[in-house]
Amino acid sequence: MKQRGLIRRQIVSAWEDCIAKHYSVQQINSERSLQAAFWSHLIPQLSKARRVFIEPSILLASGRRVFPDVVVTNSREVIAVVELKYTPKGTAKWKKDLATLAALAGARGELGISHTRHRGTDNDREHYRLSKHVLFVWAGVHKAFNEDVDYFAADYPLLQDCYLQLHAETLANKPPELSYVVPSN
C-alpha cells in the first residue's frame, strides 16, 4: 500500500472536506450529490497529470459491465477506484460494491478505461489500464451498523494490500463521526 500513499492522503482529505463542508450543512441529499461534492474537493488536490472519471463504464472479462463511482488516473494508468454509498438514515449495503472492487482487483493489468466522447473534439484517446498498485476505496455516509462490521474486505483476498475504507457515521443532532479502516498488513 506504500505505492499509493499520496492518492490515499488526497482521497482521505477530500472525504473529510466533503463531509465537513457539504454533508454537515445539509448540501448532500443523494449519492449523486455526494459524488459531486467529493469530486469538487478531490480535483484541486490533484496534479494536472491526474484525471478523474465519474461512473466510467468498465467491461469485465465475464461480460458484466460495472460503473465505479469515481476513478482517478495518472497519465497512463488507473491509480484509484472509489465506490461511494449514501444512506444517512440507514445502514449501508456494501457487499455488492466490494464484489465489484474485488473483480476489478482480479483484473489488474487486463482491464482499463478509455475516455470516449460522442461529439466534439477528441482531446483524449488514452486507454488507462488498471495499475498493479491501484488503490480501491469504499466510502459511505450511513448510520451505525447493527452487527460488528470492522473491515469489509476481510473476505476479499484480492483487496488485502490495496484497500481503504472510509466512514461518515451519522448521528442524531451531531455531526457525523469519521473513521478509517486500512489493512493491517
Q: Cell match 483487496: residue?
A: 159
Q: What percent of the chain has pLDDT over 90?
A: 60
Confidence (pLDDT) at 120:
65
CB 164 within 8 A of CB 135: yes
Mean pLDDT computed over every residue of the chain:
87
Q: Transcribe 86-106 into DSSP letters.
A: EETTSPPP-HHHHHHHHHHHH
Out of 52-56, 59-63, 124-128, 152-156, the most confident range is: 52-56
Q: What is the DSSP letter of 118?
A: S
Mean local confidence (pLDDT), 36-59: 93
Residue 83 burial class via C-beta count within 10 angstroms: exposed 0-12, middle 13-18, buried 19 and up: buried
The 10s digit of each residue's pLDDT in 167-178 is 999 999 999 999
> Is the per-residue pLDDT at 8 higher than 60?
yes
Mean local confidence (pLDDT), 146-155: 74
Confidence (pLDDT) at 185:
47
Q: Cell match 489500464: residue?
A: 129
The 10s digit of each residue's pLDDT in 52-85 is 999 988 888 788 888 999 999 998 899 999 999 9
CB 160 within 8 A of CB 135: no
Q: Cell match 490533484: residue?
A: 46
Confidence (pLDDT) at 147:
66
| pTM, entire model | 0.91
Among residues 73, 109, 101, the alpha carbon closest in space to that of 85 is found at 101
Q: What percent of the chain has pLDDT over 70?
A: 87
Pick the range with the lowest mean pLDDT from 34-43, 64-73, 111-120.
Answer: 111-120
Mean local confidence (pLDDT), 92-99: 91
Q: What is the DSSP letter of 21?
A: H
